[in-house]
């Protein structure tokens, strides 16, 4: 069993890297998280996913 973690500032970027990674993998689980921080007037988003998969 292996784990891979992805972290992106833009949700669509996370979707792209996760979709590319999971091709031909035997998935066990995917954990998804969104974090938001405020810096002055700016909102900073962090989209992350942890993929748990089986090694063939």
pTM as predicted: 0.85
CB 34 within 8 A of CB 49: no
Task: Provide the pLDDT for residue 56.
Answer: 76
- For the chain, the distance separating the N- and C-terminal CA atoms, rounded to the nearest angstrom, is 9
Which residues lie below 8 Å from residue 12, measured CB to CB, with a gap of 6+? Answer: none
CA–CA gap between residue 7 and residue 18 (Å, rounded):
10
- Write the DSSP assignment of 5-56 as a string of letters: EEEESSHHHHHHHHHHHTTT-EEEEEEEEEEEEEETTEEEEEEEEEEEEE--
At 1-56, the pLDDT tens digits run 999 999 999 999 999 999 999 999 999 999 999 999 999 999 999 999 999 999 87
């Amino acid at each position: 069993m292996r784990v891979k973690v992805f972290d992106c500032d833009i949700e669509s970027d996370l979707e792209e890297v996760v979709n590319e990674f999971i091709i031909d993998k035997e998935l066990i689980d995917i954990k998804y998280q969104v974090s938001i921080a405020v810096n002055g007037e700016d909102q900073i988003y962090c989209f992350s996913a942890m993929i748990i998969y089986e090694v063939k």
